[in-house]
Amino acid sequence: MYTAQQLERARTLAYKHSGITLGANKDVMIANRLDKLKRDVGHDDIDAVLSAIEHGRHIETFISSFTTNKTNFFREEFHFDDLKNRVFHEAIEKGGEFKIYCSASSTGEEPYSILMTMEQAKEEYSRPMLNYSLLATDIDLDVLKHASNGVYEWNKNAEDFPDWIKPANYFKRRPHPSRDGDYLIKVKETLSRRVRFNQHNLMAESYPFKNEGFDVVFCRNVLIYFSQADQNAILKKLFRTLRMGGTLYLGHSESPLELSPYVERYGQNIFVKVKELP
């Protein structure tokens, strides 16, 4: 078990390095994360580990231990339906490059779902030459590495693909090295060449891509880890990267908060920018 002081040091570090706010009801979770941290750092003395982090060492390991990376392919599928059936037509009308930003991409299932949706839409609407790109960022280097490798377990994910997606079009398959009857699937190059993975902390003072003018921004199931004040600050910074008329997708229990006067709601947690922030 950990002392109240050790838990508090972990809370302070989590906020400092990621903005993640861990309430008083999260002691068990913090304890589990500290167990993982000790294993990953390879040191059993938690005070020594916390001191090292306070002095600037093992920061990436600490961040990886404290982030929650739960995700899956086509999570909240209605957002991908909207991307294919409404937003894609804007891409056709607009011409030029269509730019999408996925701001908490975790192990890659969400950005690859976006890419599969765009590829499927290109086929459905006979627009093979449509030009689009995706920037995917996360704070956690471990998940970014997993995402760039693009390798997943088939049995774990098979149920997540909607009827209108044929995984064989987008993944190569090979037998699982240690589980009979299972496969590993790897994203094909036709898909992976469309995405750039970068590390980015949503709490950063300014965003390096703020003049990008994204057509679509995904920010799903990450705001919930921040305080309301920080959620507002992040939403405003993200909003400035979105072009007028662009679409913002939020997670199922997230809301646009102070952005409300500047957006129009198009469906479940789908918001279109109708006004610039002052």
Give residues in contact with ligand SAM (CB under 6 A). Answer: 18-20, 67-71, 75, 104, 106, 110, 138-140, 143, 201-203, 220-222, 225, 251
Quote the least distance from Cβ 254 to ligand SAM, whole Å: 10
Quote the least distance from Cβ 47 to ligand SAM, whole Å: 25
Quote the least distance from Cβ 147 to ligand SAM, whole Å: 9
Q: Which is nearer to ligand SAM, 20 or 130 (CB)?
A: 20
Residue, CB closest to ligand SAM: 71
Quote the least distance from Cβ 180 to ligand SAM, whole Å: 30
Q: Which is nearer to ligand SAM, 71 or 231 (CB)?
A: 71
Q: Which is nearer to ligand SAM, 53 or 130 (CB)?
A: 53
Q: Which is nearer to ligand SAM, 51 or 198 (CB)?
A: 198
Q: Which is nearer to ligand SAM, 118 or 219 (CB)?
A: 219
Quote the least distance from Cβ 214 to ligand SAM, whole Å: 16
Quote the least distance from Cβ 64 to ligand SAM, whole Å: 8
Q: Which is nearer to ligand SAM, 104 or 118 (CB)?
A: 104
CA distances from 106 to 68, 86, 113, 132 (A): 9, 26, 12, 21
Q: What is the 3-state secondary structure (H, E, C) of the chain?
A: CCCHHHHHHHHHHHHHHHCCCCCHHHHHHHHHHHHHHHHHHCCCCHHHHHHHHHCCCCHHHHHHHHCCCCCCCCCCCHHHHHHHHHHHHHHHHHCCCEEEEECCCCCCHHHHHHHHHHHHHHHHCCCCCCCEEEEEEECCHHHHHHHHHCEEEHHHHHHHCCCCCCHHHCEEEEECCCCCCCEEEEECHHHHCCEEEEECCCCCCCCCCCCCCEEEEEECCCHHHCCHHHHHHHHHHHHHCEEEEEEEEECCCCCCHHHHHHEEEEECCEEEECCCCC
Quote the least distance from Cβ 73 to ligand SAM, whole Å: 9
Say how far apart CA 165 and CA 176 lie, in whole Å.
22
Residues 135 and 102 sit within 8 Å (Cβ to Cβ): yes
Q: Which is nearer to ligand SAM, 71 or 192 (CB)?
A: 71
Q: Which is nearer to ligand SAM, 69 or 172 (CB)?
A: 69
In sequence order, which residues have a C-beta less than 8 Å from that of residue 203 and are 6 or more positions away?
Answer: 18, 19, 226, 230, 234
Quote the least distance from Cβ 102 to ligand SAM, whole Å: 7
